[in-house]
Structure 1
Amino acid sequence: MKQEYIISIDQSTQGTKALLFDREGKMLLREDLSHKQLINEQGWVSHDLWEIRDNTIRAVKLLMEKASVSPAQVAAVGISNQRETTAMWDRETGEPLEHAVVWQCGRAAGIVRDIANRGFGSIIREKTGIPLSAYFPAAKMAWLLQTDEKKRKRAEEGGVCLGTIDSWLVWQLTQEHAFKTDYSNASRTQLLNLHTLVWDEELANIFGIPLKCLPRICDSDSVFGHTLMGGLFEKPVPICAVLGDSHAALFGQGCLQPGMSKATYGTGSSLMMNIGNKPISSSHGVVTSLAWKRRGRVEYVLEGNLNYTGAVITWLKEDMKLIQSAGETEALALSANPADETYLVPAFTGLGAPYWDENARAAITGMSRVTGKAELVRAALDCIAYQITDLIAAMEQDTGIPMKELRVDGGPAGNRYLMQFQSDISGKKLRIPAAEELSGIGAAYMAGISAGLYQEDALFAGKEGTWFTPGMEENLRLHKKEGWKAAVAKVLTR
């Protein structure tokens, strides 16, 4: 039977998607399963690793039940994943030793303060391209190893696996129990040296992490192992691509040349600019990472990450009870009083790029007597666009390259008010592709190329999309941006 389909798994913060693609790279079907957000009284955010593994297999099985396709026709699997979420499991049994520590979680802040006080912040930034922060997995791994002395001792003996969600899934899904990660995910851990492209022993010692606990780093388009997907496949199918979700979206958007940029709007958001085969050190609050390593060649990116973008809409719905669904926000924002100057700074767990202030806390400023539900909802949407605009400015300053166009994806990209405001406040043209699920698409495309099913040029030729162009008067744009900067300044602690 001819193998002419690709399955892509997009494992994200809120849930897991399984997507089916044909031999032309067209997405045919998708299946979604959500998982629990485990939040304790201290505000720590965790995920159940078994639930993620089981949902992944179940989503793929449900997908194939819907499709009129035999599992024997699947040529390869690709994986994209939530990146900085950190897992720890037993090397012999595969049993999780703790719940996963989610990227949003700041429980390792004390470890970061201690490392900073020891004077290691600059060397960490120099080697990894990333400022020292509890956001990244190295500090989370250090926290996991401190929770139990027996686990710490077992880790030192090599009996513990520490990795990001891609490594957990590859281990659990492959017959080989392969303990691997790719360069895109490794570059986000604060343990990979961007210049030598290996796990850095000095960095591991600073964080107190045994190198023997870390996965093997592989090219993003390599074969990571072979899976029966919980008995779905009669014969093992290769996993031919692994990418962090934002990197997968960059690939899916076709940002394959230096200067090309995309923004992925999700629970949090990521802005990425392809900067080519040499790293550029940022002096404006964004970070340097690897886009991927494929065909044996490395490409780098500048990236800025935001903790709360789509999550702000979740907050409006679940905590503030102002809306019943995200779909209501567009009409509410359009109905808001144009003269209202309310700003929401969503520093619920601190501010990420370009401010990097973990102690900042959220605030609503500029309210007046006319401020109501519609104005607060609009301020929540606006803060997403303001944060992305901050990152655009930082990257333009670092590279000296004006961003002519921004390619956009993710759920909130379907909000026409938000997209027009994003174009207006940034002064950039926005292109939203006709296809959704760019992270899943990127993983599928890379897996299909790796497996020999797809031709790269044909995949990216003639892609359709929706355009938004700036229409805001310049004085108004500047006034609004100054108001945003003033609001942010009120919550910064350094």
Structure 2
Amino acid sequence: MSVENVSAADADAQPIPKEQLTNGESKLDEEKLKQFFIGSIDQGTTSTRFIIFNGTGEPVAQHQIEFKQIYAHSGWHEHDPLEIVDSVNRCIDQATLAFIDRGHKVDEIKAIGITNQRETTVVWDSNTGEPLYNAIAWPDTRTKGLVRELKEKEGADKLLNLCGLPLSTYPSSVKLVWLINHVAAVKKAYDEGRLSFGTIDSWLLFHLNGKMEKNVHVTDATNASRTMFMNLHTVQYSDELISFFGLDRNKIKLPKIVPSSCPNSFGSMSDGLLKGIKIAGCLGDQSAALVGQQGFTPGSAKNTYGTGCFLLYNVGDKPVISKHGLLATIAYDFGRSRKPVYALEGSIAVAGSGIKFLMNNLGFITHSHKISELASSVPDNGGCVFVTAFSGLFAPYWIDDAKGTIFGITQFTERGHLARATLEATCFQTKAILDAMEKDSGHKLTELAVDGGMSNSNLCMQTQANITGIPVDRPAMRETTALGAAIAAGFAVDIWKEFDELKEINQKDRMIFEPNISKEEGDKMFKKWSRAVEMCRGWLSADETKDEGTL
């Protein structure tokens, strides 16, 4: 999504520059750091990109490719795992060629980091390295019936305290169980002990290291914490959790869990223009965004507006198990005898994908960046509230039996009202997550750092500030997810050595959106949203939430 030209209708939503730090001298040797480069693979839900950053965190070359989204049935969302690998390789080649064209040499790239869509699940044959089925993407809801059954199973009430995640269609565990139960090739591989499981990071690392040549099968702690197989407290796989899902650990190969920043665990590029360069960092995308936003101190938070929307709140070196519908997760683990850092997370299934829905399904706009222009064509939502429950509702509601619902439509309703209601839906859910985080942590957030495609919209960010009642802090360089992976890799190979150095990266030219409506007005808007959420609850009956579709 490109940067918006703000129209007259939302001219009052102009952000103000953030005051730059003036106390003390910079700890960055910028001239020296501009001679070092780190590559970053950012493998997202709808596209892949490769960005080469210098040591000050500035992008110097990049390439992006969108890939096919597969929707075989209602509620299903898949990717071709080989197409994902191909998109990564092509992005690396094109960005590296651009890097060389700018007068640089490949050996100036000191390391590569990876960040990835997290819960998306891949299974492959351990003997041949070939995928056994399409990757099941994280928003996929075909497992609704399975989740309902698992919630009734003995021991279900213990899972949250062990792994920090509630039972839902979201984590990798239920996707893996579905594959074993429904795909004959996967079941056969499982029975014969040749089933390899991983999230996208593991699948890419396996391929980038030459597949069977080195047979690298690892994952980092942030990605492992999204499977429901890892004990959040020990950062190791739990036999109790694996057994709960009816899986025999001897029949399945799980990736080894390693720190997010490590010079040796992730191997190196086996071929291509970057052959021999170390892969030294790996973070799930939302953890990478927190690192890219320098969220290194307890109490810092970021919100990423991508396909979905994800808010992470740093809680320090001990996990906080939520009592208010949030996820407990690993924020990052930089190794070297340091303790892992934990976060509370609120996950919203639909953010940018809501805009894509208006564009692709309803034809409201021709390009995603036009959403603000359309939404600004009206002064407000005209009484419309859009509960974008395309995949049910995630945190803090966890309503699996909801569907997308628009309330308040009249003959007065225009496309602009629905566009504005679509943007507001993400902002309302962010407010609900922030309220839950305040209850869990005992602290009210005073500022929200933002990034991702929708953050380019001044109207959306001003709406977010108004609804939450706190300032919204937007960086000038919004590729914070890719930057986080680059930071993890650069830290591993000593481009940076202290966290204090990292805190200065990407802090220039940030903009602040201050609330410009009263608290009472914001609360009134949120109350109407909350009423709409309750009204969409229970749209699907029990028999309709059984596993959807047939193979």
Counterpart of 1:442 (choices 484, 499, 517) is: 484
Q: Aligned partner of 1:205: which letter?
A: S
Structure 1 residues 269, 229: CA separation in 2 closer, same or farther (over 3 Å shift)?
A: farther
User: Does structure 2 retain, via aligned residues, the 8 Å contact 1:178–1:225?
Assistant: yes
The alpha carbon displacement at 1:292 in A equals 1.6
User: Does structure 2 retain, via aligned residues, the 8 Å contact 1:155–1:213?
Assistant: no
Moved more, 454-463 or 271-280: 454-463
1:182-235: per-residue Cα shift (whole Å, max 9, x none)? 00000011111112221111111121333342110001112333333532235x
* TM-score calculated relative to the size of structure 2: 0.87
Distance, in Å, in 1 between the alignment partners of 2:382 and 2:274 is 57
Higher RCO (CA < 8 A, seq sep 6+): 2
Instruction: Determine the structure 2 residue equivalent to 1:429.
Output: 471
Counterpart of 1:394 (choices 427, 431, 436) is: 436
User: Does structure 1 retain, via aligned residues, the 8 Å contact 2:53–2:60?
Assistant: yes
Instruction: Determine the structure 2 residue equivalent to 1:225.
Output: 266
Distance, in Å, in 1 between the alignment partners of 2:349 and 2:528 is 21
1:470-491: per-residue Cα shift (whole Å, max 9, x none)? 1112221121111111111110
1:122-149: per-residue Cα shift (whole Å, max 9, x none)? 1111211111112110000111111245
1:197 aligns with 2:235: yes
1:165 aligns with 2:208: no
Instruction: Determine the structure 1 residue equivalent to 2:47.
Output: 15
- Taking the TM superposition and a 5 Å limit, the aligned residue runs for 1:32-431 are 32-68=64-100, 69-149=104-184, 151-175=186-210, 176-211=214-249, 212-222=252-262, 223-228=264-269, 230-234=271-275, 236-295=276-335, 296=337, 297-338=339-380, 340-431=382-473
User: Does structure 1 retain, via aligned residues, the 8 Å contact 2:35–2:54?
Assistant: no
User: Does structure 2 retain, via aligned residues, the 8 Å contact 1:3–1:75?
Assistant: no
The alpha carbon displacement at 1:6 in A equals 0.8
Q: Matched residue pairs, number?
A: 492
* TM-score calculated relative to the size of structure 1: 0.96
The alpha carbon displacement at 1:29 in A equals 1.6
- Structure 2: gaps (5+ residues): 1-33, 540-551
Distance, in Å, in 1 between the alignment partners of 2:330 and 2:418 is 37
The alpha carbon displacement at 1:414 in A equals 0.3
Q: Aligned partner of 2:321: which letter?
A: S
Q: Helix, strand or coil: the match of 2:313? A: strand
The alpha carbon displacement at 1:365 in A equals 0.6
Instruction: Determine the structure 2 residue equivalent to 1:4.
Output: 36
Distance, in Å, in 1 between the alignment partners of 2:536 and 2:143 is 21
Instruction: Determine the structure 2 residue equivalent to 1:470.
Output: 515
User: Does structure 1 retain, via aligned residues, the 8 Å contact 2:269–2:279?
Assistant: no
Distance, in Å, in 2 between the alignment partners of 1:142 and 1:294 is 31
Structure 1 residues 157, 390: CA separation in 2 closer, same or farther (over 3 Å shift)?
A: same
Moved more, 321-330 or 306-315: 321-330
User: Does structure 1 retain, via aligned residues, the 8 Å contact 2:287–2:331?
Assistant: yes
Moved more, 291-300 or 183-192: 291-300
The alpha carbon displacement at 1:11 in A equals 0.2
- Taking the TM superposition and a 5 Å limit, the aligned residue runs for 1:474-493 are 474-493=519-538
Q: Helix, strand or coil: the match of 1:489? A: helix
Give the aligned CA root-mean-square deviation in angstroms.
1.7
